[in-house]
Chain A
C-alpha cells in the first residue's frame, strides 16, 4: 500500500475539519447568545430571530441551527468515509463505510423485502441525522431531536411515504382500506392513521427531552444534596459540588449516548415497519399483472 499523496491528505484534513467546525460554531454561537442560567429552567429551543411568514411566523431556533449542523456533519462524514474508495479496500474507513451500508441494506431487505431496495439511503439518513442530532448534547448543544418540530417533520415525511405506498394500489383501494374489517371502525382507523406519525414524533422527542429533564432535575437535586450535607463547613468549603462529580456522567451515558442511538434505531425501525406494512404487495402485483395482461390483449 503506497503512501497517500499530499493532496489526498489535505482533502482528508478538510473533511475532518468540516466535521468538527460546525460543532465548534454551534458551541460558540450558544456561548455568545445564551446567558448562563441559574437554577432550574426547562425550556424549548432558544430563538435567534423570527422570520415573518403567512399562517405562522418562522422562528429560527437553536434546534433549526443544530439540525443543519448535524446535517453538515453527516454529509462530511459520508464524504470522508467514501474518500479514496478502491476495489481492494486499502483504507480502514472503507471497511467501515461498506459495513455500515451493507448492514443497513440487510436490515432494510429483512424488514421491508426486495421491493424496497431503494430505501437504504433513506434509512441511513434517518439513522445518521437522528443519532448525530441526539449526540450533539455531548458537546453541550441543544439536541434538535428534543424539539417536537424537528422530529415531527420527519414523522410527517414518514406519513407521506406511508400514504404514498398505500395509494400504490389505487385511491379506491386506499379509501376502502379504512373500512376494514368493518365499516363501523372507520373513525378509529382514521385516528390510528393520524396517530402513527404523531406517536412516532412524540416517542422520539419525548425520550430525548425526558433525558434532558431528568438530567437537569437530578443535577439540581444533587447540588441541593451536597449543599445540605456540607452546609456545616465554613466558607467556600460548603460550596464543593460533592455529588455533582461523576454521578451525572453515568446518567448522561444512558440518556445521551444510549438513548440517543436507541431512539434513532427505533425511529428507523418504525419507519421501515410502517412503510412496508402500508404497501399491499399482493394486491399491487395482482393489479399490475392484470394491467399488463390487458395491455397485451
Chain B
C-alpha cells in the first residue's frame, strides 16, 4: 500500500473535506440544533404560559376577593336599610291603624250623638203631641165647645211656639 508524504497538498482532497464539513453542518443543524432549539422553545413557551396563567389566576382571585368584600359590605348596608325601612313601614302602619281606630271611634260617637239627638227629637215630638192633646182637651173643657179645626190649629201653633221658644233657649 502506498502512502502520501507527510506534507502533500491535494486540491481535491481539500475540496472533499470542505464539502464534508458543510454537509456535517447541515446535518447537525437539521438533526441536533433545530430539534433541541425547538424543544427549548416549546418548554420556554409552556413555562411562560404557566406563569402567566398563575398570574392571571392570582389577579382573578384578588379581584374576586375585592368583589366579595364589596358585596359583603353592600349586603350589610342593604340589611340595615331593609330593617330601617321595615321599622318605618311598621311605624307608619301603626299610625295608620291608630288613626283608623280613632276615626272609627269618632264615627261611632257621632252616630251615637245623632241617635241621641233623634231620640230627643222624637221624645220632644211625642211630648208636643201629648201637650197638644192635653191642651186641646183642656181648652174644650174651658171653652165648653168644640174648637174648630182652624182655631185649634192656630192655638196649638202659638202655644207650641211659646214652648219652642222656651225650649230653644235651653
Contact = CB atoms under 8 A, between A and B. Distances in A.
Interface of A: 33-35, 42-48, 51, 53, 55-59, 61, 63-64, 67-68, 71, 74-75, 78-79, 81-82, 85-87, 89, 94, 97-98, 101-102, 120-122, 124-126, 128-129, 144, 147-154, 156-157, 209
Nearest to B25: A125
Contacts of B28: 74, 78, 121-122, 124-125, 128
A153 B35 contact: no
Interface residues of B, number: 39
Main secondary structure, interface of A, reads: helix
Question: Of A33, A58, A89, A144, which is in contact with the most chain B CB atoms at under 10 Å from its CB?
Answer: A58
A209 B12 CA distance: 21
Contacts of A85: 35-36, 39
Contact of A67 (B11, B17, B32, B35): B17
Contacts of B39: 85-87, 94, 98
A101 B90 CA distance: 83
B24 A61 contact: no
Contacts of B36: 82, 85, 97-98, 101
A86 B29 CA distance: 18
Contact of B9 (A53, A64, A152): A152
A192 B42 CA distance: 45
Interface of B: 1-25, 27-29, 31-33, 35-37, 39-40, 42-43, 46
Contacts of B42: 87
Question: Of A34, A82, A151, A156, which is in contact with the most chain B CB atoms at under 10 Å from its CB?
Answer: A82
B33 A149 contact: no
Given A82-B36, A101-B33, A154 B43 contact: no
A270 B42 CA distance: 33
A45 B16 contact: no
Which 5 residue pairs spanning A and B have beta carbons closest together? A153-B17, A44-B4, A149-B13, A58-B12, A121-B29
A98 B37 CA distance: 8
B9 A128 contact: no
